[in-house]
């Protein structure tokens, strides 16, 4: 079982999916159980809102 990455980054916004540092990418790929490429695609298509990214990833793309 994978261990959840730490979320102690003070610059990480819980409402926005950020792809600007490795810790954020690890966190969001773990949270959504997707690859970094899938996460980047979702952000490119729907923007960085956590709700929008979650909806996009859960609709089967």
pLDDT in tens, 3-47: 555 555 555 678 999 999 999 999 999 999 999 999 999 999 999
Is 39:19 a contact under the CB 8 Å cutoff? Answer: yes
Q: Count Cβ atoms below 10 Å from residue 55 Cβ, excluding itself.
A: 12
Q: Return the half-sphere exposure (C-beta side, CA atoms, 13 A cut-off) of residue 1.
A: 2
Task: Report the distance separating Cα 61 and Cα 57, nearest Å.
Answer: 6
Rounded distance between C-alpha atoms, residue 42 and residue 55, angstroms: 9
Residue 48 has pLDDT above 70, yes or no: yes
pTM of the predicted protein model: 0.79
Q: Is 46:55 a contact under the CB 8 Å cutoff?
A: yes
The predicted structure's pLDDT at residue 9? 58
């Amino acid at each position: 079982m994978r261990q959840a990455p730490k979320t102690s980054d003070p610059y990480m916004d819980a409402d926005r999916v950020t792809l600007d540092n490795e810790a954020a990418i690890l966190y969001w790929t773990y949270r959504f159980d997707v690859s970094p490429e899938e996460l980047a695609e979702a952000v490119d298509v729907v923007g960085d809102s956590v709700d929008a990214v979650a909806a996009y990833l859960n609709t089967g793309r």
